[in-house]
Every structure is written in C-alpha cells, then in structure tokens.
C-alpha cells in the first residue's frame, strides 16, 4: 500500500474501526455512531447509553485495548449486505439505532459491512462502512487518542449529545511524534498564553466573559495596525466615519435586526424608550448616506469605520480574543450602482489579499449563500449570489460553497484564516446586500434621470481587531516584527554606575525619533536583562552600552533569536531601525 496523503485517510479510518472495536469490547453498552477520518486525524462518536462519561483514564485503557487488538493481526474484510431490511432490524435489535439510521439512508447504495477477522477466521467486530480499509492491522503502527468531547448526533443540537473521541494515526512512529510535537509547539503559541506572558490583554470575571481589556502592549500593536488601516483606506478611496454605540430599537426594526438578529442583541431600557447596543454598524452608515443626495456620478460611496459592536454569544462559544462579546470591526460599507459592482468587489478582494500577504498569512475562500432566516426577495438573493460568484470567477479565485451560511441580509465571500493549531477563523468578509438599501429606501439618480436603489457591500478586512490580534499573536508566536513590537529597543548599560548617563542620552535620542525604546537601569546583571528582553519580552533589539560604545558613540546590538549582530554608530542604528519600521516586517538590521 502506497503511503501518501490519500492512503493516510484510509489508515486513519481503519484505526477508527479499531477504536470502535476497543470501546465496544470495554464498554459493551456503547452504541456506534460515525467515525470518519478528518484533517490531522480521526474521531469516533459513541452513545454510552448508561450515562458513563469517558475519562482520561478510560482513554488510556482504550488505547491499550487497541494495541492489543492490533497485535492480533486481524484482517479487514468487506461484506456486502444482501438483505438490507434484515440488517436494519438486526441493528435495531442490538440497539445500534445510529447504524440503523445510516443504513436506512444508504439502502440503495449497495451498503457494505467491514469485519475484522482473526487468524482462525473468527469475526470479531463489524461496522457499517463503505471502506476502503488497510488489508490488516499490521499497518496500524502509530496512533494516539487525544481527547474526549461532546458532539451532537449529526451535528444537530436537537439530537442527543454523543461522546466523541478524537485521535490521530500515522504510518510511522516518527510521523506521529512529529505531529504531537507540532501540537505542543502550537500550544506555546496560543494567544491566550502569550497574552498573559507578554502582558498583552486580560479578560476579567468582574467585567464579564468575552470583554477584553487591552493592556498597553497590545494597544500599541493595535494602534500601529489602525494607523496603517486608516492610511490604506484613504489611499483606496474610502472616507472614515464615526457612529454611536446605541440607537433606538426602531432603527433595528427598519434594518430587520430585531426580527432576524434578536438573540445576539443587547437591549437597553431608558424610561419608555428602548435602545439597542449596536451589533453592527451598517444602519448608521446607511443613515449617513441618507444625509445627502447621490447620483451615479458620485458613487461609489465608501464609508469606513473602526466600529465597536456588542453581540450576545451563547455562553460556551467564547474563546480568548477569537470569539468575544464586544469587538471592533474594521467595517466599511460601499454604496454603488449595478455597473460598478464587480469592480468594487474585485477591489475589495485585492485589498484583502494585499493586506493579508503583507502579514505573510494564507487564507481559504468560501462563498456563503442564503440562510434560513433572511430578508428580501429570492430574486434579489439569486442576483447577489451570482454577483459574488462572478467576481470570484473573474479573479480566478478558488472557493468552496457554504450553503445557508450567509448573513440575513445578503450572501458573502468569507476569507478563512488559520491559527497556530490549524483552527480556521473567519477574518475578512464581503457581503453583498440588495435588501437593506431597499428597507431604508435609499436612492441615487441614474444617468437616465430615474431614482434607483443602490447596491450595498458590507466588508471587513481584519474582521475584528480582537480576533485579528489573536491570529497575529499566534502567527508571530508573540515575536512581533519591529513595526508592531510594543517595545522596539531595550537599552542595557553594562554598569549602571559608569554607563547609565550615556545610555540615558541614547534613550532620549531614540525616543525623540519616535522609536519605542526602554532603558533598563535596574540593578540586575547584564545577562539577566538581555535574557528578559529578548526571550521573555520578545523585544526585537537590545542595545548594550559599555566603555567601548561610549568611546565610539555607538551601541552593540543583539537581535531577538539571532544573538550579537554588531556594533553600530548610534545614528546609523537609528536610520536602519527607521527603515525596518517603515518596511513593516522586512528585516533591515543585521
């Protein structure tokens, strides 16, 4: 059997059968649901009908049992189900209701069973499965059970919650070890850990889950990114606006939020007037549009805002900076004519792609279509979905279709960013909306003199500042490039007594140039300060100052992760540092 990526899925799927066999042998009451291969591993869902919950200890026992089964050198054999109805009732009588349900669905697809058989030809276990599998268990050499989690049968929260065991398998022990090492490495990059370690942000119980306190360090990173964002928007023809945090409920009745987004909204009662804490910025931008008359010549109108919104999330959904209740969207709304639409969408795709590639990030694209709860006519929705598809096709971008995942007012193009652990997060999104302009009755005057309804695009590049920072922290593993680093240079005098005066002058000089610099004149050893600055605080540069440097009017530079890189005249260092900062991520010094 050739050992490539495709066959790895087969190996994993086969290992999942062994997992099921082990579980049923240790827990005869366990009923089998499904056990597919997934990216980086596989899982199997079980219904432990007696309410027992798999523990860490159980995982060890199950893993041992699997090793025992594998050692028996069993063969996998396919078996065609001849009488489906008989097998369904057999499954039912065994209590295998999930298998029965699956077989019922696949009864016209020539369903097969896979059996594991020992050397004497005894069948030990069977599972409804289309296959294929590895020929026998000698192929299964390197696997590990990772974690237990709850999962709804068929992913529907109306169904029973099953217990899912996540695991992984590889062709060799070395491959397995490499993957486990990767997971460990990813854990170190977790933005929540780095957030504490680097004093970036905190989330306090007293404030509430999903509400972020930005510490000075992360606020600095954000400031740099926002400055870049503003500058880039002006270049690309956007105008920047600001809008309030609350508005009367009536505004959200017009937009449709009170009926389609209610569960996510916070309401504020003020005497007999009800207000809503804004979950989105769009209605405000529409009102700004309404303040003036527009013609086809003056469109597109591009309004951008770093708008802070609040959304009530289901309690289990919150996660670090990735999923919060209060967040700032780098939002924009573009009002345009149908003729301008494709160019506008393409310009946004370029904007997203330019921005993400500046950070060296990769992304996948998805097109999300009409959800169950929506406003507007099917005709408008079809037009909108076609428009987005056309724009993506013109760009030649590859994308997946995500049925029913659009916003309630329009379909969207989503850009999925990967975090350190390989989880994907929605970052940038472009949403095409024929509906809100109609609901608010906004118009423009076309070349034929007629008043027409403009098309509206909602879009974000970073998604939210919070989530993007989370991804950024993990992306850089906390070692921000110089332009973003909260502290860019740490000055370390070798002897406080002899060198601090000069170090102070260097500090003032760098500070006057707008460089984020710190002088470490604590009574600590030089080695300690260097280690703390470079390793713990992940500051890009340490400037060491001693007799020789004072003599030469210079600084000895040590760079994060690189060690000593040389002695620079102070002015030369400043020039190079400024170049590096300006380059936004490209290393100049060294």
Partner RNA sequence: GCCGGUGUAGCUCAACGGUAGAGCAACGGUUUUGUAAACCGUAGGUUGUAGGUUCGAUUCCUAUCACCGGCUCCA
Footprint of RNA on residues 81-140 (CB under 7 A)?
none
Q: Is 558 in the site for RNA (CB under 7 A)?
A: yes
Q: Which residues inside 42-81 make contact with RNA, applying CB under 7 A?
A: 53, 55
Query: In the stretch 448-477, what mask flags binding to RNA with x, by CB under 7 A?
Result: ------------x--xx-xx----------
Measure CA of the first residue to CA of the last residue in the chain; give whole Å: 49
**In the Cβ-directed half-sphere of 549, how many Cα atoms lie within 13 Å?**
28
The reply on whether position 547 binds RNA by CB under 7 A is: yes
Stretch that binds RNA, among 8-16, 132-140, 314-322, 344-352 (CB under 7 A): 314-322
- Whether 311 is catalytic is yes
Q: What is the DSSP letter of 235?
A: H
Active site residue 248: no
Which of 163-171, 220-228, 344-352, 508-516 is the region at the interface with RNA (rule: CB under 7 A)? Answer: 163-171
Please confirm, yes or no, whether 458 is among the known catalytic residues. yes
Residues 201-240, interacting with RNA (CB under 7 A): 203, 205, 208-210
CA 130 remoteness from chain centre: 33
Buried b vs exposed e over 79-102: b needs ≥16 C-beta within 10 Å? eebeebeebbeebeeeebbbbbeb
325 binds RNA (CB under 7 A): yes
Q: Where are the alpha helices (DSSP H) in 106-215?
A: 173-189, 191-197
SS3 482: coil
Nearer to RNA, 141 or 562 (CB): 562
DSSP string across 407-455: BTTB-EEEEEEE-TTS-EEEEEEEEEESHHHHHHT--EE-TTS-EEPPE
Q: What is the DSSP letter of 214?
A: E
Judged by CB under 7 A, does residue 277 bind RNA? Answer: no
Distance CA 70, CA 83 (A): 31
Instruction: Tell me how far apart the alpha carbons of residues 14 and 568 are, in angstroms, rounded to a whole number.
Output: 61
Stretch binding RNA (CB under 7 A), from 71-79, 127-135, 547-555, 577-585: 547-555
The verdict on whether 521 is a catalytic residue reads: no
Conformational region of residue 360, where left means phi above 0, alpha means psi within -120 to 50, and beta covers everything else: left
Per-residue three-class SS string for 138-168: HHCCEEEEEEEEEEEHHHCCCCCEEEEEEEE
Catalytic residue, chosen from 21, 329, 431, 488, is 329
Q: What is the rounded CA–CA span in Å between residue 445 and residue 297?
A: 9
Here the tokens at position 33 are: 């649901």
Least CB distance to RNA at residue 336 (A): 21
Residue of 285, 279, 283 whose CA lies nearest to 326 = 279
Is 475 tagged catalytic? Answer: no
Is 329 among the residues known to form the active site? yes
Helix (H, G, I), strand (E, B) or coil at 506: helix
314 binds RNA, rule: CB under 7 A: yes
Shortest Cβ 431–RNA spacing (Å): 8
Q: Residue 74 CB, nearest distance to RNA (Å)?
A: 29
Does 481 sit near RNA (CB under 7 A)?
Answer: no
Q: What is the token pair recorded at 222? A: 């954000």
Q: Which stretch binds RNA (CB under 7 A): 340-348, 423-431, 438-446, 449-457?
A: 423-431
531 binds RNA (CB under 7 A): yes
CB of 206 to RNA, least distance (A): 8
Q: How far is the CB of 423 from RNA (least distance, A)?
A: 7
- Segment near RNA (CB under 7 A), from 21-29, 65-73, 115-123, 517-525? 517-525
Q: Active site includes 179?
A: no
Q: How far is the CB of 93 from RNA (least distance, A)?
A: 27
Residue 395 interacts with RNA (CB under 7 A): yes or no: no
Catalytic residue among 133, 458, 518, 560: 458
CB of 352 to RNA, least distance (A): 12
Binders of RNA among residues 361 to 380 (CB under 7 A) are 371
Sign of CA dihedral 408, 412, 418, 423: positive
**Least distance in Å: CB of 556 to RNA?**
3
Residue closer to RNA by CB (options 96, 330) is 330
Per-residue contact flags (x/-) with RNA for residues 184 to 203, judged by CB under 7 A? ------x-xx--xx-----x
Asked if 151 touches RNA (CB under 7 A), the answer is: yes
306 binds RNA (CB under 7 A): no
Total interface residues for RNA by CB under 7 A: 84
**The 3-state secondary structure of 293-346, one letter per residue:** CCECCCCCEEEEEEEEEECCCCHHHCECCCECCEEEEEEEEEEECHHHHHHHHH
Q: Which of 65, 333, 499, 529 is catalytic?
A: 333
Which residues does the annotation mark as catalytic? 282, 311, 329, 331, 333, 412, 458
């Amino acid at each position: 059997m050739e050992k490539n990526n495709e066959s790895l899925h087969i190996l994993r799927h086969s290992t999942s059968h062994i997992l099921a066999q082990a579980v049923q042998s240790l827990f005869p009451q366990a009923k089998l649901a499904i056990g597919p291969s997934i990216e980086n591993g596989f899982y199997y869902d079980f219904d432990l009908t007696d309410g027992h919950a798999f523990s860490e200890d159980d995982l060890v026992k199950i893993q041992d049992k699997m090793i025992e089964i594998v050692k028996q050198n069993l063969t996998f054999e396919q078996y065609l189900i001849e009488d489906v109805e008989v097998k369904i009732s057999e499954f039912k009588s065994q209590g295998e209701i999930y298998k029965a349900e699956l077989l019922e669905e696949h009864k016209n697809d020539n369903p097969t069973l896979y059996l594991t058989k020992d050397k004497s030809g005894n069948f030990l276990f069977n599972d409804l499965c289309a296959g294929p599998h590895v020929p026998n268990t000698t192929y299964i050499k390197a696997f590990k059970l990772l974690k237990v989690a709850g999962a709804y049968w068929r992913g529907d929260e109306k169904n029973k919650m099953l217990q899912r065991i996540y695991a992984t398998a590889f062709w060799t022990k070395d491959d397995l070890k490499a993957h486990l090492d990767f997971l460990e490495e990813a854990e170190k990059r977790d933005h929540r850990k780095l957030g504490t370690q680097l004093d970036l942000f905190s989330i306090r119980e007293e404030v509430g889950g999903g509400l972020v306190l930005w510490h000075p360090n992360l606020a600095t990173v954000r400031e740099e990114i926002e400055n870049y964002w503003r500058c880039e928007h002006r270049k690309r023809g956007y105008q920047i606006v600001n809008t309030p945090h609350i508005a009367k409920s009536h505004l959200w009745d017009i937009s449709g939020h009170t009926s389609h987004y209610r569960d996510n909204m916070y309401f504020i009662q003020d005497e007999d007037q009800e207000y809503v804490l804004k979950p989105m910025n769009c209605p405000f931008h529409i009102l700004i549009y309404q303040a003036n008359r527009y013609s086809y010549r003056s469109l597109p109108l591009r309004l951008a805002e770093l708008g802070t919104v609040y959304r009530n999330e289901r309690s289990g959904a919150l996660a670090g900076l990735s999923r919060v209740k209060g967040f700032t969207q780098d939002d924009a709304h573009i009002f345009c004519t149908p003729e301008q639409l494709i160019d506008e969408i393409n310009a946004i795709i370029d904007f997203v792609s330019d921005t993400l590639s500046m950070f060296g990030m990769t992304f996948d694209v998805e097109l999300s279509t009409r959800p169950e709860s929506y406003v507007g006519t099917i005709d408008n929705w079809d037009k909108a979905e076609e428009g987005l598809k056309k724009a993506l096709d013109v760009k030649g971008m590859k994308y997946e279709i995500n049925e029913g995942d659009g916003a309630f007012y329009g379909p969207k193009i989503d850009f999925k960013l990967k975090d350190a652990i390989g989880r994907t997060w929605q970052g940038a999104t472009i949403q095409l909306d024929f509906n809100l302009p109609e609901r608010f009755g906004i118009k423009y005057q076309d070349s034929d003199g007629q008043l027409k309804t403009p098309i509206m695009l909602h879009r974000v590049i970073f998604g939210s500042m919070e989530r993007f920072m989370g991804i950024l922290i993990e992306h850089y593993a906390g070692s921000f490039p110089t332009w973003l680093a909260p502290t860019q240079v740490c000055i370390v005098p070798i002897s406080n007594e002899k060198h601090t005066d000069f170090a102070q002058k260097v500090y003032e000089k760098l500070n006057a140039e707008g460089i984020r610099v710190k002088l470490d004149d604590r009574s600590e050893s030089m080695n300690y300060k260097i280690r703390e600055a470079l390793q713990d605080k992940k500051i890009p540069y340490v400037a060491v100052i001693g007799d020789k440097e004072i003599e030469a009017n210079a600084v000895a530079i040590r760079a994060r992760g690189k060690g000593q890189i040389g002695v620079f005249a102070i002015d030369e260092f400043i020039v190079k540092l400024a170049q590096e900062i300006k380059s936004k991520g490209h290393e100049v010094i060294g």
